[in-house]
Amino acid sequence: MIDPLQASVQIASSGLEAQSTRLRVVSENLANANSTGRTPGSDPYRRKTTTFTAEMDRAAGVRMVKVKDVGTDQAPFRVDYEPGHPAADPTGYVKLPNVNSLIEMGDMRETNRSFEANLQVIKQVRSMVSMTIDLLRS
Amino acid sequence: MLEAVSSVISSAGELAKTSEVINSATPAVQPGAATVGFNNVLEQVAADAIGSIKAGEAASIQSIHGKLSAQKVVEAVMSAERSLQMAVAVRDKVVQAYQEVSRMAI
Protein backbone atom coordinates (compact mmCIF):
# COMPACT_ATOMS: atom_id res chain seq x y z
CA MET A 1 0.00 0.00 0.00
CA ILE A 2 1.34 3.35 -1.06
CA ASP A 3 1.56 6.37 1.24
CA PRO A 4 -1.90 8.07 1.15
CA LEU A 5 -0.37 11.51 0.69
CA GLN A 6 1.70 10.27 -2.23
CA ALA A 7 -1.45 8.65 -3.65
CA SER A 8 -3.34 11.94 -3.37
CA VAL A 9 -0.69 13.64 -5.48
CA GLN A 10 -0.97 10.89 -8.09
CA ILE A 11 -4.76 11.12 -8.19
CA ALA A 12 -4.71 14.90 -8.47
CA SER A 13 -2.11 14.57 -11.19
CA SER A 14 -4.38 12.21 -13.12
CA GLY A 15 -7.10 14.86 -12.77
CA LEU A 16 -4.77 17.48 -14.21
CA GLU A 17 -4.01 15.16 -17.09
CA ALA A 18 -7.70 14.52 -17.79
CA GLN A 19 -8.56 18.22 -17.68
CA SER A 20 -5.71 18.97 -20.07
CA THR A 21 -7.17 16.53 -22.56
CA ARG A 22 -10.56 18.17 -22.13
CA LEU A 23 -9.06 21.58 -22.81
CA ARG A 24 -7.40 20.19 -25.92
CA VAL A 25 -10.78 19.02 -27.20
CA VAL A 26 -12.38 22.39 -26.38
CA SER A 27 -9.65 24.19 -28.26
CA GLU A 28 -10.17 21.87 -31.24
CA ASN A 29 -13.88 22.69 -31.20
CA LEU A 30 -13.33 26.43 -30.95
CA ALA A 31 -10.67 26.49 -33.63
CA ASN A 32 -12.88 24.51 -36.00
CA ALA A 33 -16.06 26.46 -35.27
CA ASN A 34 -16.23 27.48 -38.94
CA SER A 35 -14.58 24.52 -40.67
CA THR A 36 -16.83 23.37 -43.50
CA GLY A 37 -16.50 20.44 -45.87
CA ARG A 38 -14.64 20.73 -49.18
CA THR A 39 -16.99 19.13 -51.68
CA PRO A 40 -20.59 20.17 -52.36
CA GLY A 41 -22.99 18.90 -49.69
CA SER A 42 -20.22 17.34 -47.57
CA ASP A 43 -20.31 17.34 -43.77
CA PRO A 44 -18.40 20.02 -41.84
CA TYR A 45 -16.39 19.52 -38.64
CA ARG A 46 -18.42 17.68 -36.03
CA ARG A 47 -18.14 18.86 -32.42
CA LYS A 48 -16.11 16.56 -30.14
CA THR A 49 -17.05 15.70 -26.58
CA THR A 50 -14.95 14.36 -23.71
CA THR A 51 -16.12 11.73 -21.26
CA PHE A 52 -14.30 10.76 -18.08
CA THR A 53 -14.17 7.51 -16.20
CA ALA A 54 -12.74 6.28 -12.90
CA GLU A 55 -9.92 3.82 -13.38
CA MET A 56 -8.47 1.52 -10.73
CA ASP A 57 -4.73 1.89 -10.35
CA ARG A 58 -3.56 -1.53 -9.15
CA ALA A 59 -0.11 -0.41 -7.97
CA ALA A 60 -1.44 2.40 -5.78
CA GLY A 61 -4.79 0.78 -4.93
CA VAL A 62 -6.72 3.96 -5.71
CA ARG A 63 -9.12 5.11 -8.40
CA MET A 64 -7.64 7.59 -10.82
CA VAL A 65 -9.57 9.61 -13.37
CA LYS A 66 -9.00 9.02 -17.02
CA VAL A 67 -10.49 10.25 -20.30
CA LYS A 68 -12.78 7.41 -21.37
CA ASP A 69 -13.06 8.54 -24.94
CA VAL A 70 -13.33 11.57 -27.15
CA GLY A 71 -16.65 11.13 -28.90
CA THR A 72 -18.60 13.23 -31.35
CA ASP A 73 -21.69 15.33 -30.77
CA GLN A 74 -24.60 14.02 -32.84
CA ALA A 75 -26.53 17.32 -32.77
CA PRO A 76 -27.65 18.58 -36.22
CA PHE A 77 -25.41 20.97 -38.14
CA ARG A 78 -26.22 24.62 -38.58
CA VAL A 79 -27.01 25.62 -42.18
CA ASP A 80 -26.31 28.87 -43.90
CA TYR A 81 -27.44 30.09 -47.33
CA GLU A 82 -24.27 30.75 -49.31
CA PRO A 83 -24.56 29.58 -52.94
CA GLY A 84 -21.00 30.53 -53.93
CA HIS A 85 -19.37 28.39 -51.24
CA PRO A 86 -17.43 25.30 -52.41
CA ALA A 87 -19.30 23.12 -49.91
CA ALA A 88 -22.77 24.45 -50.84
CA ASP A 89 -25.32 21.80 -51.84
CA PRO A 90 -27.43 22.23 -55.05
CA THR A 91 -29.98 24.40 -53.18
CA GLY A 92 -27.20 26.79 -52.05
CA TYR A 93 -27.09 25.80 -48.38
CA VAL A 94 -23.77 25.17 -46.60
CA LYS A 95 -23.61 22.96 -43.55
CA LEU A 96 -21.67 24.57 -40.68
CA PRO A 97 -20.23 22.77 -37.60
CA ASN A 98 -22.53 22.10 -34.64
CA VAL A 99 -20.16 24.05 -32.40
CA ASN A 100 -21.61 26.68 -30.09
CA SER A 101 -18.90 29.08 -28.89
CA LEU A 102 -20.81 29.89 -25.71
CA ILE A 103 -20.99 26.22 -24.73
CA GLU A 104 -17.30 25.79 -25.47
CA MET A 105 -16.47 28.85 -23.37
CA GLY A 106 -18.51 27.45 -20.48
CA ASP A 107 -16.74 24.11 -20.86
CA MET A 108 -13.39 25.86 -20.86
CA ARG A 109 -14.20 27.71 -17.67
CA GLU A 110 -15.29 24.50 -15.99
CA THR A 111 -12.05 22.83 -17.10
CA ASN A 112 -10.14 25.69 -15.54
CA ARG A 113 -11.99 25.31 -12.25
CA SER A 114 -11.40 21.55 -12.07
CA PHE A 115 -7.74 22.06 -12.86
CA GLU A 116 -7.44 24.63 -10.09
CA ALA A 117 -9.15 22.29 -7.63
CA ASN A 118 -6.67 19.53 -8.42
CA LEU A 119 -3.74 21.93 -8.09
CA GLN A 120 -5.08 22.97 -4.71
CA VAL A 121 -5.04 19.34 -3.58
CA ILE A 122 -1.38 19.05 -4.59
CA LYS A 123 -0.53 22.27 -2.72
CA GLN A 124 -2.30 21.01 0.36
CA VAL A 125 -0.46 17.69 0.27
CA ARG A 126 2.84 19.48 -0.10
CA SER A 127 2.21 21.68 2.89
CA MET A 128 1.12 18.69 5.01
CA VAL A 129 4.21 16.70 4.04
CA SER A 130 6.56 19.55 4.79
CA MET A 131 4.85 20.12 8.15
CA THR A 132 5.43 16.45 8.95
CA ILE A 133 9.08 16.54 7.93
CA ASP A 134 9.51 19.68 10.01
CA LEU A 135 8.88 17.51 13.03
CA LEU A 136 12.34 16.05 12.51
CA ARG A 137 13.90 19.50 12.62
CA SER A 138 13.60 21.79 15.65
CA MET B 1 6.96 8.40 4.16
CA LEU B 2 5.09 8.79 7.43
CA GLU B 3 6.16 5.32 8.48
CA ALA B 4 9.72 6.35 7.76
CA VAL B 5 9.33 9.47 9.88
CA SER B 6 7.91 7.55 12.80
CA SER B 7 10.57 4.86 12.59
CA VAL B 8 13.29 7.50 12.44
CA ILE B 9 11.84 9.22 15.46
CA SER B 10 11.64 5.97 17.40
CA SER B 11 15.18 5.04 16.34
CA ALA B 12 16.38 8.41 17.51
CA GLY B 13 14.60 7.72 20.77
CA GLU B 14 16.39 4.39 21.08
CA LEU B 15 19.69 6.09 20.40
CA ALA B 16 18.92 8.62 23.09
CA LYS B 17 18.09 5.81 25.48
CA THR B 18 21.37 4.13 24.62
CA SER B 19 23.27 7.31 25.35
CA GLU B 20 21.41 7.67 28.64
CA VAL B 21 22.49 4.20 29.54
CA ILE B 22 26.08 5.01 28.59
CA ASN B 23 25.86 8.15 30.65
CA SER B 24 24.92 6.18 33.72
CA ALA B 25 28.12 4.18 33.07
CA THR B 26 26.54 0.74 33.08
CA PRO B 27 29.01 -1.77 31.61
CA ALA B 28 26.32 -4.08 30.11
CA VAL B 29 25.48 -1.77 27.18
CA GLN B 30 25.03 -3.13 23.68
CA PRO B 31 25.03 -0.13 21.37
CA GLY B 32 25.16 -2.48 18.37
CA ALA B 33 21.47 -3.37 18.54
CA ALA B 34 20.22 0.19 18.18
CA THR B 35 22.87 1.05 15.59
CA VAL B 36 21.80 -1.73 13.21
CA GLY B 37 18.17 -0.59 13.20
CA PHE B 38 19.18 2.99 12.69
CA ASN B 39 21.59 2.08 9.89
CA ASN B 40 18.86 0.18 8.12
CA VAL B 41 16.47 3.11 8.35
CA LEU B 42 19.15 5.44 7.08
CA GLU B 43 20.01 3.15 4.21
CA GLN B 44 16.38 2.81 3.18
CA VAL B 45 15.75 6.54 3.33
CA ALA B 46 18.89 7.24 1.31
CA ALA B 47 17.97 4.64 -1.32
CA ASP B 48 14.44 6.08 -1.53
CA ALA B 49 15.77 9.60 -1.94
CA ILE B 50 18.29 8.67 -4.60
CA GLY B 51 15.70 6.68 -6.55
CA SER B 52 13.11 9.44 -6.63
CA ILE B 53 15.67 12.16 -7.36
CA LYS B 54 16.83 10.08 -10.33
CA ALA B 55 13.21 9.72 -11.48
CA GLY B 56 12.75 13.48 -11.16
CA GLU B 57 15.84 14.16 -13.24
CA ALA B 58 14.76 11.68 -15.91
CA ALA B 59 11.31 13.29 -16.06
CA SER B 60 12.84 16.77 -16.41
CA ILE B 61 15.04 15.62 -19.28
CA GLN B 62 12.10 13.94 -21.00
CA SER B 63 10.05 17.12 -20.66
CA ILE B 64 12.85 19.09 -22.32
CA HIS B 65 12.52 16.67 -25.23
CA GLY B 66 8.78 17.28 -25.17
CA LYS B 67 7.94 13.65 -24.37
CA LEU B 68 6.30 14.18 -20.99
CA SER B 69 3.52 16.51 -19.83
CA ALA B 70 4.19 19.26 -17.32
CA GLN B 71 1.93 17.54 -14.78
CA LYS B 72 4.00 14.34 -14.77
CA VAL B 73 7.23 16.31 -14.44
CA VAL B 74 5.87 18.32 -11.52
CA GLU B 75 4.72 15.11 -9.86
CA ALA B 76 8.12 13.45 -10.24
CA VAL B 77 10.09 16.52 -9.19
CA MET B 78 7.82 17.08 -6.17
CA SER B 79 8.38 13.50 -5.10
CA ALA B 80 12.13 14.01 -5.48
CA GLU B 81 12.02 17.25 -3.51
CA ARG B 82 10.10 15.53 -0.76
CA SER B 83 12.62 12.69 -0.56
CA LEU B 84 15.49 15.16 -0.50
CA GLN B 85 13.90 17.13 2.34
CA MET B 86 13.33 13.88 4.18
CA ALA B 87 16.94 12.77 3.66
CA VAL B 88 18.29 16.13 4.80
CA ALA B 89 16.09 16.11 7.90
CA VAL B 90 17.22 12.60 8.79
CA ARG B 91 20.87 13.51 8.22
CA ASP B 92 20.50 16.55 10.49
CA LYS B 93 18.95 14.34 13.11
CA VAL B 94 21.81 11.85 12.86
CA VAL B 95 24.46 14.57 13.11
CA GLN B 96 22.62 16.02 16.06
CA ALA B 97 22.55 12.66 17.81
CA TYR B 98 26.26 12.16 17.09
CA GLN B 99 27.07 15.57 18.52
CA GLU B 100 25.02 14.83 21.61
CA VAL B 101 27.09 11.71 22.15
CA SER B 102 30.40 13.42 21.40
CA ARG B 103 29.68 16.27 23.80
CA MET B 104 29.02 13.81 26.56
CA ALA B 105 31.07 14.44 29.68
CA ILE B 106 33.19 11.43 30.50
Distance CA B14, CA B37 (A): 9
Cβ–Cβ below 8 Å for A9 and B79: yes
Return the number of other C-beta atoms located less than 10 Å from residue B52's C-beta: 22
pLDDT digits (tens, 9 = 90+) for A53-99: 999 988 888 999 999 999 999 999 999 999 988 888 899 999 999 99
Of B5, B75, B82, the CB nearest to A13: B75
Best of B82, B86, B88, B94 to mutate (most A CBs within 10 Å, chain A) = B82
- Pick from A42-51, B24-33, B50-59 the range whose average pLDDT is largest: A42-51
Each residue of A19-65: pLDDT tens digit? 999 999 999 999 999 999 888 888 999 999 999 999 998 888 899 99
Chain A partners of B90 at a C-beta cutoff of 8 Å? 136
pTM recorded for the entire structure: 0.74
| Residue B45 CA, distance from chain mean position | 5
Query: Which residues, 6+ apart, have CB-to-CB distance to B74 below 8 Å?
Result: A13, A122
Say if B11 is an interface residue toward chain A (CB within 8 Å).
Answer: no
Contact call for A122 and B78, based on CB within 8 A: yes
Q: Which of B69, B82, B86 sits opposite A17 (nearest CB)?
A: B69
> Between chains, do A129 and B92 touch, taking CB under 8 Å as contact?
no
Question: Higher pLDDT residue, A73 or B22?
Answer: A73
CA separation for the pair B11, A100 (Å, rounded): 63
Whether residue A116 is predicted with pLDDT greater than 90 in this model: the reply is yes
Question: Which residues are A64's β-sheet partners?
Answer: A55
Q: Check whether B28 has a pLDDT greater than 50.
A: no
A41: phi > 0 → left, psi -120 to 50 → alpha, else beta; which?
left
Taking contacts as CB-CB distances below 8 angstroms, the residues of chain A near B78 are: 9, 122, 126
CB contact under 8 A, B75 and A6: no
A/B interface, count of CB pairs below 8 Å: 48
Domain ranges of chain B: 35-66, 67-105
Best residue in A129, A131, A134, A135 for a mutation probing chain B (most B CBs within 10 Å) = A129
